[in-house]
Amino acid sequence: FLLNSFDHVFVERCVFTPRGEIRSIETGTLLKDFDVIAFSISYELDYARAINMLIRGGVEPRRKDREAGDPIIVAGGPAIIQNPIPLEEFFDFFFVGELEDYAEDFIQAIEEVKEKRDFRSLEKYEFLHIPSLGRRKVKKAFTRNLNEAFYPVRQIQPLEWKDFSFLLEIGRGCGWGCRFCLAGFIYRPPRFRSLRRIMEIIEIAKSFNKFKKVCLISFAAADHPEFRKLLEYLFEKGLQASFPSLRSDLLRYEELGLIKKLGERTLTIAPEVASENLALAIGKCISPSVTESVAEEAYKAGFKQMKMYFMYGIPGEREEDVASIGNLVNRILRIGYNGIRLSITPWIPKPHTPLQWEGQEDLKELMRKRKIILKNLRGGRVRVTFFNPKKARIEAVLARGDENISRAILYVAIRNNYTVGAWHKAFQEANVDIKEYANRSIPLDEELPWDFIDIGISKEFLVREWENFHKGKAPLHCRLRLFS
Ligand code: SF4
């Protein structure tokens, strides 16, 4: 939407047709006939799918094999801000950061290289990573003022409008700085849209879209400085709302009641851990007692279903920490909830976080801990979804990967097979030692592949946070909360 707001730019969405071609929805143009092919990549396990799209769309996947006249292939998104190195072999350049304030520069950059594929002139754009020019400091681009930034008020909606939620980003970035969280670090600083601007967007959006529900997007919606007023406004307008990421531990009875009235049937909370010491160490600081008291308030406010997110396999985690997940869930069930859905994921080391140097736990150990968690959960009212530890290990390899990983990505992409087995075969073929990338603890003074990306946070700060993690010392904001 943003790029299409420029007069001379036409952006279309490409999909597979039933005949297996890749064509755009809007004009039916074949993928390979576009000037530029741009991917937004959020997730490591999608790397090979993006490359597979190029192959099946008739585009040379390796940048060195493309010639003048071929499309320019670019990528952006959180996975690229994190670490674009494993994808360097395929993309002509990467946009590192948030686009709004830099859209004009981005278009200009494409125009400069479109004809001749000579990327040297792009050096002046400090937020672009251009693999053919080698590595230099790349500064993450970020949008300074969300109130002034472009907002897509016309959105794509299904034919059955009742299924449609208008997507409304109320804030970006998060100030909590949980030590494991990629989004919390790469999208700093935290920024919010003012209530006035949010109301304006909703009013304008109504003239383009038919909707009764808004989906409030933010890393921690409850952090919005005018959150309560926003809830009241939506209620007065007769709208419903959903909250994909709420940080509901910050809410009390009245707000929880309003959220219920806005149509949310399930309260979602992500304590991540169920023991006090780990809650402090990871910096999320939702202690088991906080989780229980929120669950009680929410129950009184009318919620009968809960969804909870947990992690396990965190460095330094003890057996009793893992067992405490089941104990906490059982205590919450006793409050009276009809059902609790659990989503449980092994911890995965992510670049640019204070835990980037830590190795992921061994697969056997993760499997053993998974059994401990299950053994401690009682009753049929709990539904558990475990993220496959084998996939989590592949994700860790790709997240902390370097240029050696690209051969494995290509192997998987060519075969169009994304199973764990296919990835293992690919790593074997590419001589990638999984343990070296996923399980190794990296010395603090070792140069990291993603060090050249400047996300605006110093390495000294990350090291201090890493030390505090090992001392079990909570970040300042947690300590303030605990004493408030
Ligand atoms: S509150 Fe959520 S989004 Fe923010 S840093 Fe913590 S885990 Fe990440």
Give the pLDDT score at 48: 98
Tell me: cis bond preceding 189? Omega within 30 of 0 counts: yes
- With a 6 A CB cut-off, is 180 part of the ligand 1 pocket? no
Q: How far apart are CA 4 and CA 6, in angstroms?
A: 5
Structure tokens at 103: 């859209």
User: 338 — phi, psi (to 5°)?
Assistant: -75, -30
- With a 6 A CB cut-off, is 269 part of the ligand 1 pocket? no
Which of 250, 340, 343 shows the shortest CA–CA distance to 293? 250
Q: CA 75 from chain center: how many Å? A: 15
Which of 38, 80, 45, 39 shows the shortest CA–CA distance to 450? 80
User: 314 — phi, psi (to 5°)?
Assistant: -75, 140
Q: How far apart are CA 475 and CA 479, in angstroms?
A: 7
Q: Output the CA 205–ligand 1 centroid distance in Å.
A: 29
- With a 6 A CB cut-off, is 119 part of the ligand 1 pocket? no
Determine which helix (DSSP H) or strand (DSSP E) holds 306, and give its type and residue range: strand 305-312
Give the pLDDT score at 285: 84
Q: Is the ipTM of this complex over 0.95?
A: yes
Give the residues across from 236 on adjacent strands: none
Q: Is 66 helix (H, G, I), strand (E, B) or coil?
A: coil
Give the pLDDT score at 161: 74
Q: Which amino acid is at 194?
A: S
Domains of the chain: 3-134 (no CATH), 145-264 (3.30.750.210), 265-390+460-484 (3.30.750.200)
Which of 278, 219, 283 shows the shortest CA–CA distance to 465? 283
Structure tokens at 65: 């094999």
Take atom 8 of ligand 1 and give the residue whose Cα is closest: 184
- With a 6 A CB cut-off, is 350 part of the ligand 1 pocket? no
| Contacts for 119-126: CB closer than 8 Å, 24+ residues apart | 119/92, 119/93, 122/93
Give the residues across from 340 on adjacent strands: 306, 382
Give the pLDDT score at 157: 85
| Contacts for 117-125: CB closer than 8 Å, 24+ residues apart | 117/66, 117/67, 117/68, 117/70, 117/72, 117/92, 119/92, 119/93, 122/93
Give the pLDDT score at 312: 98
Q: Output the CA 220–ligand 1 centroid distance in Å.
A: 7
Q: Output the CA 38–ligand 1 centroid distance in Å.
A: 28
Give the pLDDT score at 10: 97
Q: Output the CA 176–ligand 1 centroid distance in Å.
A: 6
Ligand 1 atom with the smallest distance to the CA of 177 is 5
Q: Taking a C-beta distance cutoff of 8 angstroms, is the pair 99, 141 a contact?
A: yes
Give the pLDDT score at 377: 87
- With a 6 A CB cut-off, is 284 part of the ligand 1 pocket? yes
Q: Output the CA 121–ligand 1 centroid distance in Å.
A: 38
Q: How far apart are CA 226 and CA 171, in angstroms?
A: 11
Give the pLDDT score at 481: 61
Q: How far apart are CA 351 and CA 450, in angstroms?
A: 7
- With a 6 A CB cut-off, is 188 part of the ligand 1 pocket? no
Q: Taking a C-beta distance cutoff of 8 angstroms, is the pair 418, 411 a contact?
A: no
Task: Give the β-pairing of 339-346 and 305-312.
Answer: parallel
What torsion, rounded to 10 degrees, do the Cα atoms 366, 392, 388, 369 define? 10
DSSP-assigned letters across all residues of 141-160:
B--S-TTTS----S----SS
Give the pLDDT score at 482: 55
Take atom 6 of ligand 1 and give the residue whose Cα is closest: 178
Residue 397 burial (CB count, 10 A): 24
- With a 6 A CB cut-off, is 393 part of the ligand 1 pocket? no
Q: Is 3 helix (H, G, I), strand (E, B) or coil?
A: helix
- With a 6 A CB cut-off, is 178 part of the ligand 1 pocket? yes
339-378 as b/e: b if 16+ CB within 10 A: ebbbbbbbbbbbbbbbbbbbbbbebebbeebbebbeebbe
pLDDT in tens, the chain (484 residues): 999 999 999 999 999 999 999 999 999 999 999 999 999 999 999 999 999 999 999 999 999 999 999 999 999 999 999 999 999 999 999 999 999 999 999 999 999 999 889 999 999 999 999 999 999 999 999 999 999 999 999 998 888 777 799 999 999 999 898 999 999 999 999 999 999 999 999 999 999 999 999 999 999 999 999 999 999 999 999 999 999 888 888 888 999 999 999 999 999 999 999 999 999 999 988 889 999 999 999 999 999 999 999 999 999 999 999 999 999 999 999 999 999 999 999 999 999 999 999 999 999 999 999 999 999 887 689 999 999 999 999 999 999 999 999 999 999 999 999 999 999 999 999 999 999 999 999 999 999 999 999 999 999 999 999 999 999 998 877 766 655 4
Which of 56, 95, 55 shows the shortest CA–CA distance to 74? 95
